[in-house]
Amino acid sequence: MAVNPPGRATGRTRYILRRLGQALAVLVIVVVLQFFLLHLAPGDIADVIAGEVQASDPQFIAKLRADFGLDQSLLVQLGLFAWHILQLDFGNSHAFNVPVIQIIAERLPATLLLMTTAIGSAFVVGSMLGMAAAMKVGRWPDVVISVLALLFYATPAFLAGIALILIFSVHLNWLPMTGMATTWVTHTSWSYFVDVVKHLVMPMTALSLFYVAIYTRLMRASMLEVMNLDYVRTARAKGLRPLRIMWRHMARNAFLPVFTMLGLQVGSLLGGAILIETVFGWPGIGRLAFEGVFRRDVPLVMGILFLSSVLVLSVSLLIDLLYTKLDPRITMR
């Protein structure tokens, strides 16, 4: 990217560079903010460990604090943390005594799988429902879909999760209720795939309901708006087939706001993942971060937050770039 000398940089490169600079600034703010927040919380990892193992020895606790570097001043700790981050070293988790990066690597795939399938299915289902509602606006399919979307929106994800477990695991016994895979049997790659899919269905559904609602409403609204645009009316007047109009002219434009939303939602998805991973025992990093907060495992939580910030920032950058491609009217500032 930075190959072009500044004078000859194209608009696009300049835009990307500018956005990267902004992302970097945001990252610095996030790290500093999180660091101080986490250290403001009462108690530290030494309290937790001493409490868990019921160690009744002040020297033992003092040694723990020294081992974890908690006896140094906050600024020194922050400086050390920043210095290590620059070398892409996240340090050791205090609770697990294992490199943070290793724990995250072990648990990130589960969360990514959950998040991408949830948001992906929400995107597909929501877009379809939204389009269908828009095509039949004011008639019963629209009403049914709109009411459904409202209900999805209003139902807390954890309640939905509990209800799904009750119905599909306890009563019907169709789906496994916790975990991500049956890890202790030998799998062929096919049976492993089927196994994971079975485990995935419920948490994915519970997590996606809220987003299905959002995308349905968003798609319906933007379809309705696009339908009234002049060129769509013209196309219709020209006698083009409705489906063709929908795809060629409308969907393409209607997708834009939906895409923007996608970028904004990575962070909130991770929050939802905390609840869903707890209900379904899904071995992801949402729960890991949550438990990390309660164990005051600062390196682990900082590592997860840092990586998720990087993720959020890169997704939104990517969406911005896609945006400029999808809609040439948008200028790059």
Partner 1 sequence: MRDVIYRLFRSPAALIGMALLLLVAIMAASASVFYPQGPFNLVGQPLAWPGKLPGLPFGTDSLGRDVVAGILHGSRVSLLIGLAATVAALALGIAIGAPSGYFGGWVDDVLMRITDAFQTIPPFLLAIVIIVIVRPSVATIIFAIAAISWPAVARLVRAEFLKLREAEFVASCRLIGMSDARIIFTQILPNAMAPIVVSASIMVASAILTESALSFLGLGDPNAISWGSMVGMGRSDFRTAWYLVAIPGTAIVLTVLGLNLLGDGLNDALNTRLHRRRAGA
Partner 2 sequence: MRVHSFSAILFAGVLSLFASVASAQAPVRGGTLTIALPTEPTQLNSAIDTTQQVKIVAGKIFSGLVKYDLNMKLQPDLATSWAVSKDGLKITFNLRKGVKWHDGKPFTSADVAFSVMKAFGQYNGLVRAVFANVERVDTPDANTAVFIMKQPAAAIMNALPVATATILPAHIYDNTDVRQNPANQKPIGTGPFRFVEWQRGSSIVLERNPDYFEKGKPYLDRIVFRVIPDTQSRGAALEAGEVDMIYHSTAAASDARRLGALPNIELTTYGYIFDSTVCFVEVNNEHPILGKAEVRRALAYAIDRKFVLDNIWFGFGTPANTPIHNALKQAAAGAVPQYAYNLAQAEKLLDEAGYKRGADGVRFKLNIDFVPFGDQYSRMAQYVRQQLTQIGVQAEVRNTDFPGWIRRIWTTHDWDLNMSAITNASDPSIGVQRAYWSKNIVPGTPFTNGTHFKNAEVDKLFEQVAVEQNATKRKAQFASLQKILATELPVLPLVSIDQFTLVNKRVQNHSTLADGVYSGYSDVWIKAAK
The contact set with partner 2 (CB under 8 A) reads: 41-45, 47-48, 50-58, 60-61, 95-98, 103, 106-107, 110, 162, 165-166, 169-170, 173, 176-181, 183-184, 278-281, 283-284, 287-288, 291, 294-296
Q: Do residues 92 and 98 touch, judged by C-beta distance below 8 A?
A: yes
Least separation in angstroms between residue 153's CB and partner 2 is: 24
User: Is 253 a binder of partner 1 (CB under 8 A)?
Assistant: no
Q: CB nearer to partner 1: give 28 or 66.
A: 28
**């990390």: which residue's tokens?**
292
Least separation in angstroms between residue 180's CB and partner 1 is: 20
Among 207, 220, 210, 205, residue whose Cα is nearest residue 127:
220
Largest CA distance in the chain: 85
User: Residue 41 in 3-state DSSP?
Assistant: coil
Distance CA 274, CA 291 (A): 10
Residue type, position 236, single letter: R
Point out which residues pair with 99 in neighbouring strands: 92
Q: CB nearer to partner 1: give 11 or 156.
A: 156
Least separation in angstroms between residue 304's CB and partner 2 is: 13
Separation of CA 248 from chain center: 30
Instruction: Take residue 301 and report the two structure tokens written for it.
Output: 């939580």
Q: CB nearer to partner 1: give 66 or 318.
A: 318
Least separation in angstroms between residue 178's CB and partner 2 is: 5
Task: Enumerate the H helices of 136-188 as residue ranges.
Answer: 140-154, 157-164
Q: Which entry of partner 1, partner 2, none binds 55, CB below 5 to 8 A by partner kind?
A: partner 2
Site string for partner 1, 10-29 (x = CB under 8 A): ------------x--xxx-x
User: Is 51 a binder of partner 1 (CB under 8 A)?
Assistant: no
Least separation in angstroms between residue 185's CB and partner 1 is: 28
Q: Do residues 274 and 286 touch, judged by C-beta distance below 8 A?
A: yes
Separation of CA 308 from chain center: 8
Q: Which entry of partner 2, partner 1, none binds 130, CB below 5 to 8 A by partner kind?
A: none
Q: Which entry of partner 2, partner 1, none binds 197, CB below 5 to 8 A by partner kind?
A: none
